[in-house]
A and B are shown apart, each in its own frame.
Chain A
Amino acid sequence: MTILQTEFNKFNDAIRLGWDNEEARLRERRDAVIDRIRERMGGPSFSHFNQGSYELRTGVKPVNGDYDIDVGLRFNTTRSEWPDPVALKQRVVDALSGYKVELRRPCVTVYYQRRNEPLYHVDLNVYVPAETEGMLHLAVGKVGDAAPLKEWRFTDPLALGAALDTTFAADDREQCRRVIRYLKRWKDSNFPAQGNAAPKGIGLTAAALQWFTPARERDGVANRVHHDDLKALSGLVWAMLAHATPRLVVKLPVPPHDDLFRRMSEQEMSIFVAKLGELDEGLRRALADADEGSASRTLREFFGEDFPAVTSSPTARRIGAIVSSGSAG
């Protein structure tokens, strides 16, 4: 039976957004954009907060190099003062003149490019406070949308993070985050980036919140708990497949309780489920494989080359052959 926990840890280190590298640059971009809006917008005033994978700490490095960061702008105004949500979004776009900026239906996106290749983008989500304490209304709609498509949508953008915090204990939560990252990297490696063919990252995150079960073992002698990411990931994928009847419906656990995969067409959904089936089969094959080398090759088919290939024997991988024993008699 294969475990490959060392490899999963390396894989996680390779794909996660770290505070010290990409995230730092993203933070700089974010701060520059927000400063610019504050300078130029001329009211209403707002406060900002991180949201999405940046806030959940489930972000992965994009395969195509297009890093993103989700920022919420909480405007100190009301729906009644801004009956047209697109009008407020347009004020944000106007304040960012000179940037490559796009007013999209769910948000305002600011792009940073090099030779027409996207490097970073910052998604600005425009909110006004709701009557319920802590809840917000999201400005939805774009220029030219018919009235029914424009709305102030009741939502709680921070609820997912809170749910992750309350559902799992510390070490299990970290395993849940790692497993979400693995799934997101699988998604990035196996689906086209454009359109709705790929399952949304938030959908995979919500699925994990719903069906993830920690896989771990306690070493009673050393008084340590060791996590088994391969088993946990396999368990989650199996659970997702079991709920695909035939569509996989994963609802946001908070208002507005949307099905996060609702935009996928029947065909897109069936491809998604089929690929999920392949992943499930691959994970099981890796779990049952007695040879760590071939198990790692199986996993690389699904997760790409950031997943390390096992070439040497496990003993050779252990470091420190001469250590201080600390024993005496």
Chain B
Amino acid sequence: MSQHENHAFEHRDDEAKKLGMWLFIFTELLLFGGLFLVYSIFRSQYPDSFHEGSLELSVTIGAINTIILLVSSASVAVALTAIQKNNTKLSMQMLLLTVFLAAAFLVNKYFEWGAKFHHGLYPGSELMQLLDRGHHLYFSLYFFMTGLHALHIIIGMILLLISYFKVKAGKVKMDDFMHLENAALYWHLVDLIWIFLFPLMYLIS
């Protein structure tokens, strides 16, 4: 009984937690926004090089990774709905599925980058030095932007795993789920950035 009363008076501000997460997301959007701006400027200056550069990328792998991220974004949203409906088991399953899909994305990325590295195409390689300015810029931006995005995938996986263990331990529950909600917001951000990266890097040519 006394435990129940303590809980009722526990100081907690869910709105502030959410607003804080959104403010952080704004800085992330502007970080990638700056890179998209650099991409747009150089694309307008070297349209032919960017066109030829994008032909080097596999649309199939890009499309598979897009589908993976969309499904993982939906599964983490289901995990949040499940915890709000007090379905802890489904929430944990969905979090594990999301982390698994994130890992699958990275495996794809590993093979994609691996093939480029195999052909001597990686930042600072001799081949990169020989490329003309336009191609050099395209591949530098490709590696930097998808690399920074992959780093966000890894951070997102860690956040989702922490959420998973918190749900398991009963610390994230039906009436106290902000940790999971904020981790989910971060994961959607990763998906959101990829939604723009995919057409700009792989498709437009």
Partners in one complex: no
- Chain A positions within 8 Å of B, measured between CB atoms, are none
- Chain B positions within 8 Å of A, measured between CB atoms, are none
